[in-house]
Structure 1
């Protein structure tokens, strides 16, 4: 597992003095600024950069990268992903998990008295009301279907065991 995690993305240039627009995946959005250093994941690999200024505008967050003082240099960064060292993330209270901790877990359900493998968490999506697990078929799963399981601990999501790499859900395999 990588020791870095994606926290956002560069989405375009802003003005002519090297500023870049940022789409933050942190919550709240402004938390992305507190992580240092940033690593930009480009087609050429990871590049460590230093944000030397930033501003929150009505259209979103913009940043200035040290040494990037014109639009052409800024455009060269393209739409790179922003990664930070994973150990910078704050510890969560018991029972709370980061999405990256859930991705890859094997998802089981107990149905008809048997423990059945539905698949593994491929991704999560935010729907507004609650997050949703995207459970994809994997080796040993009961079929080749992809399932969307609401991430509602205590209702559909039961035990999560990160050490074992498993999650138990209350989900009918026919759904």
Structure 2
């Protein structure tokens, strides 16, 4: 499994107890939907390694997880800061007009007929999502707000925005 075929579910933030449990910070909109997970991929030395779950308890954006084969505090310590991934194919299908943030990556952004650049990444700053647009090597940050996104056409990799007056001026020399 390649990382490009996956989405990040969260990250191991600390150990819990002495029997190998770990605390995970979930980076998803609806954490409770992951209560019945059987396995995840953990990034280990740049590779995705499958880990099977014995137990999982979700509380808000955090989860307490006991993985199979991780039975000691020392084993659990090795997992701290590991990112967790799931296959993109496990995502539920969305209704027409809806999209996942990762689908925006690589879309061309236009304001009117002017191409601003390509979406390089989605940045989350304390709940404020921003689109990072690569404009010939310069980064333009656009708030990811429904009122600014006029058209999102994932199939044709095109996003049309209506930016607030002056937003682009801060990026022009």
TM-score range, shorter chain: 0.7 to 0.9
Q: Unaligned regions of 5+ residues in structure 1, if any?
A: 139-143
Please say if residues 40 and 84 of structure 2, whose CA atoms lie closer than 8 Å, have aligned partners that are also in contact: yes
Q: How much is the aligned-residue C-alpha RMSD, in angstroms?
A: 2.5
Q: Quick one: structure 1 residues 167 and 7, their matched pair in 2 at CA, closer, same or farther if it must change by over 3 Å? A: same
TM-score scaled by length of structure 1:
0.81
Equivalent residues of 2:27, 2:61 under 8 A apart: no
Give the superposition deviation at 1:164.
Answer: 2.1
Q: For 1:170, which of 143, 162, 168 is the aligned residue? A: 162
- The more displaced of 3-12 and 55-64 is 55-64
Q: 2:140 aligns with which of 133, 147, 153?
A: 147
Task: Name the residue aligned to 2:12.
Answer: 10
Residue of structure 2 in register with 1:102 after alignment: 104
> Gaps spanning 5+ residues in structure 2: where?
none
The answer to whether the 8 A contact 1:7-1:32 is kept is no
- The Cα shift of 1:94 comes to 1.9
1:160 aligns with 2:171: no
Q: 2:87 aligned with 1:85, yes or no? A: yes
Instruction: Give the ranges of 4+ consecutive aligned residues of structure 1 lying more than 6 Å apart after TM superposition.
Output: none
The CA distance in 1 between the partners of 2:88 and 2:38, in whole Å, is 11
Q: How many residues align?
A: 165
